[in-house]
Structure formats: structure tokens, C-alpha cells
Structure 1
Amino acid sequence: MSENRKVALVTGGNRGIGYELVKQLALSGFKAILTSRDPEKGHEAAQKLKESSLDVSFVQMDVGNEESNRQAAITVNERYGRLDVLMNNAGVYLDGPEGIVTMDPSVLKQTMATNFFGVYHVIRTFIPLMQKQGYGRVINVSSEYGALREMAEPGAGAYKLSKLALNGLTRLIAAEINGDIKINAVDPGWVSTDMGGLSAPRTPKQAAESILWLAMIGPDGPNGEFFRDGKRIEW
């Protein structure tokens, strides 16, 4: 098989949507890199996919730790010398019933640390690998909860603010970046995962399929946009 196959990395790839994204990318002919904060769970998930003859490798990475991101980028560069697709999927939902003013501020800090700053540092760390070849596709797994209109409703304040900031970051980077490097945000919908709960109507497989197309867009594809099920939605 050609060694020029594209390389894709998924953060938080050991379960849920992330695991499905790794699987679907590998099935689509990518060399897929599954990253996870927990090395044991990450290895186990990657091994499971390898047993299906999929080209999947594991790299340990805690998106909230800048040094961990840096080491992961060094590993990817040494192993592949390139990165074509970056899927920022790792995220947390820590909100309880409290409002944004009454919650423990540490909930907001922790949420922003993973859902916003984590993504920011991952992009900063890996974008040079894309700039090196003048090509890249960055997909930020966001949420409709991050749409500005959602701020008019109470609840899930830390999560909403983190995704609002992530959406803003998506637009800013799209405006700054040169070459055939595209960055978009996507809302996977309410998905049956550890985060979404068992009553959610969508499966991780359905969610992954609704995201995957953004990894395949051509030079005329969208940049700095927000999507759900392939359709552009309002910020």
C-alpha cells in the first residue's frame, strides 16, 4: 500500500465518538493515530482496531498538558513526518445544577482547560506539521450549546462558554491561516456516550459519519464554518 497515505490524529480517541472517528478514518484509508490521556485505555482501544486489520497506532496525549502535546507532536513527526487531519474531539462536561455565578469556579476552569485551552495548545503544537506541507484539515468537535443564542438560556454554563470560545477560536484561526489548511467546527448532536448518556438518540457511529466528511474536503471546501449533519449552522 502507498506510503503517501494521509495521516489523521484524533484526540480522546479511546471511546465514544473519538473511537468511532479513528475507526472510520482507518476504514477510509487514513493512517489513524488514536490519542488518549490514559495509556492503558488508549493501547487497548488501538489494539482492538488493529485486530480488525486497521492501520491504527496509539500516542499518549493529555490535551490539557502542553508538554504532553509537544511530545506527541515529536512522536508523530518522527513516525510519519506529516499530519494531514487533526480532529479535536477530547472534551469534558463537568456542569452540575448550579448556575455560572454560583458554581465552584474550578468547574469553569477545568472545563476551559480541556475544551478550550486544550484545543488551542493542540492546534498550536500540530499546525507546523501541516504548514510544512501546505495542507491540513482541522476539525473541532464543538456543540450547538456553543452557539451564541444558547447563552440566553440558563444551565450548562461552563460547557456552553467553553464551546462558545472554541467556536470563536475556529473562526480566528481560519482567518489567520494560509495555504490549503482548513479549520471548521462541527456539532455531532446528542450522542449516546459516557458524556451524552444512554437516552441520547444518536449512536457514536452516526455522529462520526456526520463529522468525517470535513476531513475529505478539497481546496474549495469550507473554512471557518460551523456544521451539523453536513449543513452549515449559525454561530
Structure 2
Amino acid sequence: MSAEPIALVTGANKGIGLEIARQLGRRGTTVLLGARDPDRGRRAAEALTGAGLSAVALRLDVTDGRSVADAADRIGQRYGRLDILVNNAGIAGAFTGPPSEVTLAQLREVYETNVFGVVAVTNAMLPLLRRSAAGRIVNMSSEVGSLTVNSAPDSRFRDYHQLAYQSSKTALNAVTVAYAKELRDTTIKVNSANPGFTATDLNHHRGHQSVEQGAVVAVRLAALGPDGPTGTSQDDTGIIPW
């Protein structure tokens, strides 16, 4: 069984996911790069191994139950455990109009990846995380999912209309709290990471932060010590409101 920490990052072939994998790898972690497209996952892993990091591509489509189960089986057979799970895979969806015009199909498309996919992967990986001496689950959320921030009269998101994505991140925060409560008597810690407005394909690279900056909070939460918090939402400054 491998002595170094084993981490799985979903949606890790590009953007923040790849950068999280890179930063974890630099900390001595063996990183499994979950990717729907095997070729893209392989190329991403080769880029990291070429830099001297320990990285392995893992085919994983979070919306496909069989793919999720197969990934968990492969991790179990090869490593026997999982120390870190970063649920990074996410989509924004194409619809950006007012809530009154969104369709259920558009909502379902986003929720399949951003919410249902997270639950599917987490449930599949929990038996492996329970074998870790100190399992960590990090759910990649967004400040646009904060009810406190969005309901403030002076919220900077007052004119933000993207119901599917926004509500999916609110739901993801609720998922984080639910798992943190279930696992509070174990060594597993569960937190939401808010990377900030980071330039990625998700926002057509309009973000003002680099992926290097956006990955910092997730890596910090993935490496929490035994006295670290669980059931929180955090950005690079610390705990932020739900």
C-alpha cells in the first residue's frame, strides 16, 4: 500500500482541477486525475509526471454510475484507500436568462454534474476514505451559491441571472453540510471551497484570478490537520457565510 497520500480530483484534465492536482502533487501526493475523456486525462497526467510529480489518469464521468463505480474499484484495487477527494467537476450551463425562463431540462443538466455527480462520487469513494487515517473531502463551490451574500441588498450579484448554476452551488453547500454532519465522529473532514472568479473555460476566461490563485483554498482544505474545521465554506481568506 502506498505511503504517500492518495488524492482523486474530478474534472482534473484542465483549469482549476488540473492546478489543484499540480499543487497537491508538489506536496508529495499521488494524484488521480479524473477525466471523462481518457486522452485528455492521459495528456494532463503526462504533463504532471513530466514535471516530476506522481500523477495517474483515471477515466471518470461523474454523471455515469458505471464509470463512477469502476473508478472506485480501480482505486481500491491499486491503492486500497483514498485520502483526499476533491469534487471539482462542474458545468455552468448555457442558459443565462431570468429564472422565469429557465427550463427543467436546463436545470437537470447542470444538477447532474454539480450536485448529483458529487453525491454519486462521494458515496462511491467513502468506503475508501474511511480507510484513510485522515480523509478529506473538498467540494468546489462558488460564492454565487451563498444565500447570505446573494440576499444582501447591496450584493454584487444582484443582477446575476444564472439560476441553474447558482442554485446548484447552493445545493452543493447543503450537500457539504450533510456529509460533515454524518462524518463528524470520524477523522474525515468535509468542506466547501470557493476559489473566487478564476479565469477558466467555465466563464470563458473572464475571471480576474489565475488558476494558481483559485486552487489555493482547495489545496489548503485538502491538507487540513486534525484540528482543522469541518462543515465550513471557505475562500482564500477563511470561513465565509453560507
Q: TM-score, normalised by structure 1?
A: 0.95
- Note the alpha carbon deviations across 1:25-80, whole angstroms, 9 max, x for none: 11110011101011111111111111112100011000011111110000011111
Letter in 2 for 1:165: A
- Matched residue, 1:9: 8
- Matched residue, 1:176: 182
* 184-193 vs 150-159, which moves further: 150-159
- Note the alpha carbon deviations across 1:133-175, whole angstroms, 9 max, x for none: 4530000000001111355445110001100110001001101
Determine helix, strand or coil for the equivalent of 2:219.
helix
Determine helix, strand or coil for the equivalent of 1:129.
helix
Letter in 2 for 1:144: E
- Matched residue, 1:162: 168
How many residue pairs align between the two structures? 234
Q: Percent identity?
A: 36
Contact 2:195/2:216 (8 A) holds in 1: no
Contact 1:95/1:156 (8 A) holds in 2: no
- Matched residue, 1:138: 137
State how 1:15-164 maps to structure 2 within 5 Å: 15-149=14-148, 152=151, 153=158, 155-164=161-170
Distance change (3 Å), C-alpha of 1:100 and 1:150 = farther
Question: Structure 2 CA distance, aligned partners of 1:163 and 1:135?
Answer: 26
User: Which of the numbers 203, 206, 228 marks the counterpart of 1:199?
Assistant: 206
- Matched residue, 1:188: 195
Q: CA offset at residue 3 of structure 1?
A: 3.6
Q: TM-score, normalised by structure 2?
A: 0.92
Question: Structure 2 CA distance, aligned partners of 1:199 and 1:162?
Answer: 21
Determine helix, strand or coil for the equivalent of 1:92.
coil
Q: CA offset at residue 104 of structure 1?
A: 2.5
Give unpaired runs (5+ residues) of structure 1: none
Contact 2:2/2:79 (8 A) holds in 1: no
Over aligned residues, Cα RMSD in angstroms?
1.5
- Matched residue, 1:219: 226
Determine helix, strand or coil for the equivalent of 2:188.
strand
Letter in 2 for 1:179: T
